[in-house]
């Protein structure tokens, strides 16, 4: 009996060792690679989730910032699994709370056959919106994808995560924003870039930390940079700045940013190169003139007078940003104090509508490419943003989830168990950038496909043709009104994605 018991024990240990061996050598799941054996319990409990949630824990739509339904949609889309849900919606549609309804057409637009003369892929930004054309930038271009990867810095994200996203961008044919941490070797794997200039001027600063145009030119020369974005603020912590602790400033990160090794890397709250709207416009024109690239700004929306003044001075000077990225207060991958995350800056819908209105009233809506960010990585959210005037959409946390992020919310600790937001060699070792790049590309491709399908259900062929009248907002006591009325959009404003005929012809 004792020998039999010993044999069973040895067989059990051998089985466990085999599982551990498999876990540490496989590359599909970073959680299992970093936490062999124990990680299986996470997936086991996730598998029983629907049954458990009938009695305890949360429903499919209660968790924040992303619900279980949303996370499952991203996971299935990225892994090539069906992203459909059975047995009807589990939303309580009768409990009306600003319900958003997409008004489908009885005659949906058919998908193009590709046989039309000069036909272009239907996920491109419309020909009428050429980035930089309105201001005559030398390297103006039409972005190939309406969905792109948001700014997430090397240092905040691990090297394999940055590489996976860049490779994924190359596969999907979209752009990757570098974030304000400079251009690393991991950004050079085939994906084209938008280079972000933050308040710390990393990778474009002199020895005193001031902006250096010469250093900027050195950084973008030879790199696959298609445009430059000047970050005024971000949704997670507008007006606060940021800090990469000294312990995370490795020699590689320091070299990319142009800062000392092992010293706190500080992003100030505001820019030192300019301090008012006229200074901002001059700075944009200086950078665009020297590089020939389209130059834009990124900002959360707080004080509305800024946008009125920007529109006024752009009309007066003829200069200004080629694109504007609006980040909602609900967005942001960075760590932030709770008060800033919860209460500073307007949420995306209100913020974008306010900024867009200021520029549309000034007659500038057709000259600027509008980019939205802040939980827009889902087809319905992106279509709503299109109706508000967005030409493009940036996905941040959703892109992180496509390469393995499990919403552990440990980004600020450096202990991301999936190896995405960490500099721990142990944890990042579980993330295979080759495999995860395919998942990132799958997610972007599937998001574009469903977004286009929603647009066609409205009877139009592209999201840019969706108007505020395609969206109905249902409020309490079953009152309802079109988006145009709710947000005060005027009927004579241009349909999002369209510009003056002469610019369209130039495209």
Q: What is the pLDDT along the chain (507 residues), one digit of tens a residue?
A: 666 777 777 788 888 888 888 888 888 888 888 888 888 888 777 776 655 554 566 666 666 677 778 888 888 888 888 776 654 555 555 555 568 889 999 999 987 665 554 444 578 887 778 999 999 999 999 999 999 999 999 988 999 999 999 999 999 999 999 999 999 999 999 999 999 999 999 999 999 999 999 999 999 998 999 999 999 988 767 777 777 788 778 899 999 999 999 888 888 889 999 999 999 999 999 999 999 999 999 999 999 999 999 999 999 999 999 999 999 887 765 666 777 777 778 899 999 999 999 999 999 999 999 999 989 999 999 999 999 999 999 999 999 999 999 888 788 778 888 999 888 899 999 999 999 999 999 999 999 999 999 999 999 989 999 999 999 998 877 788 888 999 999 887 865 544 433 433 333
Q: Collapsing DSSP states into helix, strand and coil, what is residue 291?
A: helix
- Spatial contact of 406 and 374, defined as CB atoms under 8 Å apart: no
- Rounded to a whole number of angstroms, the distance between the first and last alpha carbons of the chain is 83
Q: What predicted TM-score, i.e. pTM, was given to this entire model?
A: 0.85
Res 480: pLDDT: 86
Could you tell me the two tokens for 223?
A: 């790199």
Res 118: pLDDT: 44
User: In the block, which residue shows the tokens 């389209």?
Assistant: 294
CA distance 181 to 151: 9
φ, ψ at 443 (rounded to 5°): -60, -45
Res 42: pLDDT: 80
CA distance 134 to 318: 10
CA distance 457 to 507: 27
Res 395: pLDDT: 96
CA distance 255 to 114: 46
User: H helices of 210-250, where?
Assistant: 213-220
Res 59: pLDDT: 64
User: In the block, which residue shows the tokens 């988006």?
Assistant: 483
- The tally of CA atoms less than 13 A away on the side-chain side of residue 482 is 14
What size, in residues, is the chain?
507
Could you tell me the two tokens for 330?
A: 């609900």
For residue 280, what are the contacts with CB-CB under 8 A and spacing of at least 6? 230, 232, 274, 297, 310
- Spatial contact of 150 and 226, defined as CB atoms under 8 Å apart: no
CA distance 322 to 229: 10
47: left (phi over 0), alpha (psi -120 to 50) or beta: alpha
Res 326: pLDDT: 95
Res 126: pLDDT: 77
The neighbour count for residue 241, using CB atoms within 10 Å, is 15
Q: Collapsing DSSP states into helix, strand and coil, what is residue 149?
A: strand
């Amino acid at each position: 009996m004792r020998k039999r018991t010993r044999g069973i024990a040895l067989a059990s240990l051998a089985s466990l060792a085999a599982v551990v061996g498999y876990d540490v050598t496989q590359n599909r799941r970073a959680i299992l690679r970093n936490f062999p054996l124990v990680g299986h319990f996470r997936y086991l409990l996730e598998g029983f989730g629907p049954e458990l949630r009938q009695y305890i824990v949360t429903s499919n739509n209660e968790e924040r910032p992303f619900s279980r339904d949303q996370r499952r949609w991203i996971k299935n889309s990225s892994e090539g699994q069906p992203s459909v849900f059975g047995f009807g919606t589990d939303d309580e549609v009768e409990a009306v709370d600003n319900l958003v309804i997409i008004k489908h057409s009885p005659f949906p637009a058919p998908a193009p056959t590709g046989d039309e003369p000069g036909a272009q892929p239907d996920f491109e930004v419309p020909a009428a919106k050429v980035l930089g054309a309105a201001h005559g930038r030398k390297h103006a271009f039409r972005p190939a994808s309406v969905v792109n990867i948001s700014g997430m810095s090397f240092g905040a994200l691990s090297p394999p995560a940055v590489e996976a996203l860049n490779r994924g961008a190359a596969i999907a044919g979209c752009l990757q924003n570098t974030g304000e941490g400079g251009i690393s070797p991991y950004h050079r794997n085939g994906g084209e870039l938008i280079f972000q200039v933050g308040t710390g001027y990393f990778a474009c600063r002199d020895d005193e930390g001031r902006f250096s145009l010469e250093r900027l030119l050195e950084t973008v020369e030879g790199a696959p940079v298609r445009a430059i974005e000047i970050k005024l603020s971000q949704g997670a912590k507008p007006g606060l700045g940021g800090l990469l602790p000294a312990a995370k400033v490795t020699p590689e990160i320091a070299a990319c940013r142009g800062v000392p090794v092992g010293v706190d890397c500080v992003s100030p709250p505001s820019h030192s190169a300019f301090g008012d709207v006229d200074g901002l416009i001059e700075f944009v024109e200086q950078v665009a003139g020297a590089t020939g690239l389209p130059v834009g700004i990124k900002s959360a929306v707080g004080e509305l007078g800024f946008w009125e003044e920007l529109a006024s001075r752009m009309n007066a000077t003829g200069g200004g940003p080629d694109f504007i990225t609006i980040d909602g207060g609900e967005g942001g991958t960075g760590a932030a104090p709770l008060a800033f995350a919860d209460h500073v800056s307007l949420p995306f819908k209100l913020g974008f509508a306010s900024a867009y209105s200021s520029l549309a009233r000034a007659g500038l809506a057709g000259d600027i490419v509008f980019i939205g960010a802040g939980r827009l990585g889902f087809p319905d959210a992106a279509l709503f943003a299109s109706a508000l005037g967005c030409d493009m959409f940036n996905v941040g946390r959703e892109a992180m989830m496509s390469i393995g992020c499990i919403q552990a919310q440990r980004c600020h600790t450096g202990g991301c168990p999936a190896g995405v937001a960490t500099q721990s060699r142990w944890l990042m070792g579980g993330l295979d950038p080759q495999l995860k790049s395919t998942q990132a590309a799958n997610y972007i491709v599937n998001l574009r496909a469903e977004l286009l399908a929603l647009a066609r259900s409205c009877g139009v062929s592209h999201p840019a043709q969706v108007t505020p009248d395609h969206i109905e907002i249902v409020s309490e006591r079953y009152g309802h009104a079109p988006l145009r009325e709710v947000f005060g959009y005027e009927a004579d404003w241009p349909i999002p994605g369209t510009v003056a005929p002469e610019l369209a012809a130039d495209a």
